[in-house]
Every structure is written in C-alpha cells, then in structure tokens.
Amino acid sequence: MKQIVLAIVCSFSFIGMSQSTDLTSQLYDTYENYKETSIGKRRIKRADIQPLIDKYSSNEKFKVTTVGKSIGGKDLSLISIGSGKTNVFLWSQMHGDEPTATQAIFDILNFFNSVDFKVEKEAILANLTVHFLPMLNPDGAELFQRRNLLGIDINRDALLLQSPESKTLKRVRDSLDADFGFNLHDQSTYYNAERTEKPATISYLAPAYNYEKDINETRGNAMKIIVFMNDILQKYAPGQVGRYNDDFEPRAFGDNIQKWGTSTILIESGGYPEDIEKQEIRKLNYTSILSAIYTIAKKSYETISIKEYEKIPENDRKLFDLKITNANYNLMGNSYTIDLGINQIEVDYPEHDSFWYSSRILDQGDLSTYYGYETLDASAYTIKQANVYPKTLNSLAEVKALNFKYLLQQGYGFVRMTTIPNNEINSPFPVHLIGPKYKIPELKLEPGINPTFLLEKDGKFEYAVINGFLVDLKTESIKVPNGMIYK
C-alpha cells in the first residue's frame, strides 16, 4: 500500500507527464478476473443484466433500489456500495445503442464484490458511496437505438423532463446530491483525435454550465478528473483521446448536472482498431473509471492543473473504415484519379441481437484530410467492374462449394441463383447473390452506392472490394463478413 501511495504522490509532482499509478496497471493487468463474461457483445438487453442485479440484491455489501421504470415498463435500478460522505454517481446508456460503459459498470461491481485489492477498496468505500444506474434507456437497448420509446433523445430532456427515464435521472441526482457524476456514453467509431489518424477511443468533456463556459470549482474538479483519466489512457491507447466541444447545451443532462453542483465527467467510448464489440474499450473504461474513483477517494486529484485539460486534442470526425487513395478510374473514355471513403455500416437483424453489414461509399474525391482504419494506396491500380459468374446455381450448398478467391481473381463478384431462399437476408459468402432476373448496374462510383469492384494491375486482379471490405487476392485466405442479396 505504502508503495502505491508513494507512486501517486511522486507522479503528481510531475503533472502532465505521468499520473497513472501502480494501481492502474494492476487493474489493467488483472482485468480478466473481474470481467462480467455474461455480457460480451454490444447488443445487450435489460433481461441480460437482470440476473446480475439480482445477484447484488441478495448481497448485503450492496444496496439495490428500483428507482423508476422506463416507458416500456422496465426497471431502472440503482446499485450502491460504500459508506463514505462523498457521493459518486455513474449512469450509463441513456442512449440505447451505447452499451460499453454498462458492461464496464458490471466489471467494476465484480471488482467491488471480490476479495482482492482490500486496502484500496477500503479506502474507496470508507470515503465514498458509489452509486451505479446502468442502462437508463432499457427500451432503446431492446431495439439497439439511441432514442427511447417516446422517440426522444433523453439527453435533450433535462429541463422539461418529458420522459420518465429523464425524471428518474433528475430525481436520483437530486436525492444523492452527488459530488461527482459520470455520464457514460458511446460515440461513433468515426471520431478521431483532431488532425491525427488516431481514433478517439475515448472522448471526454467537462460540460459547461453556462453560455460563457465559466469554470467554477464544480466544473474545475471534473476537468481535473479528466486530466487524470487522460493520462491513464495515454499509456494504453496513446494519442487516442479526444475532447468534446464545450458549447453549452441548455437541454442536456451533463450541462445541467454540472449546473446543479455535481462535478460531471462525460465519457464517450469510440472506436479502437479491430475491436468491433468494443471489449478493449470496455477494459479501458473499467481501468480508468476505477482509477478515477480511487483518486476521488484519496482526494489526490486536487493538485492536478486544469490547464492540462485544454491540451487534450479536440474530437474530429474524419475517419472511414476503409480509405482508398489515388485509384485510377475510367469514366466516359477518360481516366481519372480518385480517393474513396468507405464505411462498413451495420444493419440489425430483426431481433436486434446481432447485425450484418450493408456498406456504402461515404465520400469520394480529394480525401487527403481524412483517415482510415484501413487504407490502401491504389495509385498502381485501376478500378474495374465486378461481373456475374456465368453459371447459375441452384442452392446455397452449391454456392458454398465455389472457390471464391478464384472467382474474384477472375473478376466475378456476383453469383446468380435460380431462387434465393426467402429467409436469407444477406449473402454469407464473399460474393453477392443475385436472383434469376436481376441485372447488375454498370459501375458508377458515387456516394451512397455499395462499394463493390476489383482493383486491376498489369491485367491481373490483385484486390477486390466486396460490400466495402478490402480483399487482398494475393493472400492465402480471404474474408468478408457478408455480401448482399439482390433479388
């Protein structure tokens, strides 16, 4: 313990260098012991967290209260632990399709329920009472949508409280008169740290409480906690932190909760390369939020300089899933050079428990101010139309037996079937499936179309783009999550 305290004191004397502590790395390294494995994908629903809430209801260390109901009649539960005078209140998923912090909350609860980190936990629970309200918008979560059943954005309802979920959030905030509030969201994966190719894996905001954007003690303390957390993130996701614009939004909860006297920290979980289900980001939430709770308990944040807050790069939205630069493209007999920005867009299956992709060209032209999770310099390549495989097949089993890499190398990106089974929503193969009469349109690049074409060099197809996914035809195995169906 002594060592840990010493480490914190030392690191605070070098503000702006490293404030991450030994405790933080221990939390990061032992994360798997506390990860709540029953909720491992983004599309979680209220029923998925009920058994976890039940577990804490029957555990005397925790106090579980039903504090309200959603429009659809689902419980809103508050889980509290600790006996300290300082109240810390964390709420998540007021936007139904923003589940990352809900998962992290249950990881944090597992941490508190364990026998490890005894000294640190005693310090937290003696000084703080920590309250969690996970999944404030369970009806939205059911449909994996931002808005609630009334069709409103709860984060624009802090003043009029037109929705029961908003009333609950306000009432709980007021009853706790919390000293610190963590307003937990997800943001688009297409945000980046300004003028860098780094995704904004986490973005922060100490919301303003007036149009003048004044900084009083309440907001200043939120800024200090953000500086502390940013420092932790820089260790595990260097350069991948953004800061939100602090324009005052009079209807938003963060801005108002700050105004009502709770130091409010907005955390937005964004994107991280090859982390589709955002489980690495969840781990970063767990590590940084728990560390922040500890620093609040120890009051060690107090000496942090708020000047560091302004140095966090601003959020920007300049990322594509796939960026192709300098491709040669023939149009009406002439050759042009063009960049393409492509996003792999998720579409939910009817039950909203999983998804498939229907990708789109988002933009084209000079995209030199944009970045990609994946990029290809296509200056040596010419974009070519993907063609229809000449043989019509009768069953999915026949399609499955095809050598797709060979097909794509021959320039075939579409396979015709005599009938496409009615229950198929998309093609499970790295080619599109088309019905007996479907005529594929001539390739004309424009924003909005499904990106499907070949990249030719010296008469050979070396790459394919199928449903927005880049396929390197020189590699052994090829992978596209799904193709489209055109009947």
Sole binder of Zn ion in the list 36, 98, 139, 179 (CB under 5 A): 98
**157 lies in the binding site for Zn ion (CB under 5 A):** no
Q: In angstroms, what is the minimal distance from the CB of 183 to Zn ion? A: 9
Q: 98, 81, 88, 107: which is closest to 284 by C-alpha?
A: 107
Q: Of 154 and 407, which CB lies nearer to Zn ion in the complex structure? A: 154
- The answer to whether residues 183 and 253 touch, using CB atoms and an 8 Å cutoff, is yes
Q: Give the alpha-carbon dihedral of 43, 45, 50, 52, to 10 degrees.
A: 10
Which H or E element spans position 483? none
DSSP H stretches of helix in 335-455? 396-400, 404-409
Whole-Å CA distances, 96 to 135, 169, 184, 346, 389: 8, 15, 12, 15, 42
Sole binder of Zn ion in the list 185, 224, 283, 384 (CB under 5 A): 185
Which H or E element spans position 347? strand 346-348
Q: Of 173 and 185, which CB lies nearer to Zn ion in the complex structure? A: 185
Q: In angstroms, what is the minimal distance from the CB of 269 to Zn ion? A: 10
Using CA atoms, how far apart are residues 381 and 456, in angstroms rounded to an integer? 5
Q: Applying CB under 5 A, which part among 22-30, 168-176, 181-189, 284-292 lies near Zn ion? A: 181-189
Amino acid in position 144: F
Residue partners of 5: CB distance under 8 A and separation at least 6: 298
Q: Of 184 and 454, which CB lies nearer to Zn ion in the complex structure? A: 184
Q: Of 206 and 454, which CB lies nearer to Zn ion in the complex structure? A: 206
3-class DSSP assignment, residue 81: strand
DSSP H stretches of helix in 65-162? 100-113, 118-127, 138-143
Q: Which two tokens stand for residue 52?
A: 């976890």
Q: Applying CB under 5 A, which part among 19-27, 67-75, 184-192, 433-441 lies near Zn ion? A: 184-192
Q: In angstroms, what is the minimal distance from the CB of 298 to Zn ion? A: 30
Sole binder of Zn ion in the list 95, 224, 243, 416 (CB under 5 A): 95
End-to-end CA, the chain: 66
Q: Applying CB under 5 A, which part among 77-85, 98-106, 191-199, 234-242 lies near Zn ion? A: 98-106
Q: Of 93 and 192, which CB lies nearer to Zn ion in the complex structure? A: 93
Q: In angstroms, what is the minimal distance from the CB of 134 to Zn ion? A: 14
Q: In angstroms, what is the minimal distance from the CB of 173 to Zn ion? A: 17
Q: In angstroms, what is the minimal distance from the CB of 32 to Zn ion? A: 27
Contact residues toward Zn ion (CB under 5 A) are 95, 98, 185
